[in-house]
Amino acid sequence: MRKCSIGAIFCVLLLILCGCEDGNEPDTLGYVVAIGFDKPENGKEGYDITLQFANPAKISGGSGEDGGKGGKDSIENITVTAPGIYSAVNVANHIISKKFTLSHTKLLVFSDEISKEGLEKFFETVGRSSDIRPNTYIAVSKCKAKDFLESVNPETEVNPVRYYTMIFENENSEFIPKNLAQDFYFHSTSDERDSVMPLCSVSGNENKDGYAETGYQYQLENDIAGEIPTGKKETQVMGMAVFERDKKIAEMGEIETEIYNMIIGEYKNSYVAYYFSKVPEDPITIIQQSEKKPKIQVDTSTDAPKISIELYVEGDFCSSSPRISVEDSIDLFTDEVSAELKKEVEKFLKKTADLGTDIAGFGSYAKRNFSTLEQFKAYNWREKYKNAEFDVKIDFSVRRTGLVVRSEEH
């Protein structure tokens, strides 16, 4: 009898431990997938915070004719004025018949105006949050963050989270920087490195006249998001915002962003058009890649740090010229490509030094030259970087040209 009593008590305890007192049914939750931050109009206090949340019935498995439709119908937006993220969630909970959760948030979008004022208060909240994940994507919007989120139309993806993943984490998207909330949080308080964010906007109708004069990405504009005419209103993500600490101080276009990815070792591959002196009217296109991390060294023995960087780049021909066989002048072509790429990298690095912002993270290499953290801080890397001297070397080669050459010889 006693054994039965003990067994009964044990079963009751198991039921208590397995209880879901704080649990929520899935259909009672509003899954926030993106959050936008704008300055409120009419001089109001706080921020206009847009919560973009998924509509599960339109994503997949919903009953009725519209189940699994996706696209624009898979997301909804609500904008409230509040002093912070969680205050906005609290207000939205009383407007929409859902309990909003931030555990599925994939994107934080800040308006240009807010990013220039500083983002410290927002990332202090993100750093403390147990809901927002460290690998959340971040971006600066050239238009209102609300307008950007309301223009998002994931036509090719049923799941809106998948849509943002394909935009911000695509290995073939070299025209945007790879940066996450955790990176910005650490870099904005670091003495070693400054941070960047992708630029996003809604497409405009104006187009620039003429092409870029650079031999790298020949005849391609150095655009940012919103500058590419598409004939309709749609979202664009391209280029990057440059920060000093937590404040935006400059912008860089698609070509500069591609160079940035090379320097920090995040470059995978892209199609690149080069100027070739033998056929100046025909850009020569290669699929370019970097399988080896850059070699970087920093000399801090003087007040003008000397930074040497060697990039390892290779590529395959995608298009040539009908006028000549580039393979017959392969040495001249590789020399010119190396020179053009070297010039573009040097121009990019000088621009960062003039801005006084080390977004490439050379400070982490400089730090190795000091025995203690106090010695590194005393060197004042951020100030010294403005006087930095750069030595750039390019190791470039074209692969697999043999078959083309042999076919012409026989």
26-35, 99-108, 248-257: which has the minimum mean pLDDT? 26-35
> Two tokens at 347?
């121009």
Amino acid at 167: I
Burial class (CB in 10 A: 0-12, 13-18, 19+), 156: exposed
Query: Would the pLDDT of 408 be above 50?
Result: no
Highest mean pLDDT among 104-113, 174-183, 213-222: 104-113
CB 296 within 8 A of CB 284: no
CB 99 within 8 A of CB 171: no
- The distance from CA 275 to its chain's CA centroid, rounded to whole angstroms, is 28
CA atoms of 39 and 409, how far apart (whole Å):
66
pTM (predicted TM-score): 0.84
Phi/psi for 52 (5° steps) reads -100, 120
Query: Would the pLDDT of 131 be above 90?
Result: no
Return the higher-pLDDT residue of 207 and 393.
393
CB 253 within 8 A of CB 269: no
The Cα angle at residue 304 between residues 298 and 307, in degrees rounded to 5: 25
Q: How confident is the model at residue 114 (pLDDT cuts 50, 70, 90)?
A: very high
Q: How confident is the model at residue 291 (pLDDT cuts 50, 70, 90)?
A: confident
Q: What is the pLDDT averaged over residues 216-226?
A: 78
Q: How confident is the model at residue 283 (pLDDT cuts 50, 70, 90)?
A: confident
Q: How confident is the model at residue 128 (pLDDT cuts 50, 70, 90)?
A: confident
Q: What is the pLDDT of residue 338?
A: 93
The Cα angle at residue 5 between residues 4 and 6, in degrees rounded to 5: 90
Residues 355-377: tens digit of each pLDDT: 999 999 999 999 999 999 999 99
Query: Would the pLDDT of 304 be above 80?
Result: yes
Would you tell me the crossing angle of helices 254-263 and 330-355 to the nearest 10 degrees?
90
Q: What percent of the chain has pLDDT over 90?
A: 46
54-58, 105-109, 218-222, 314-318: which has the minimum mean pLDDT? 54-58
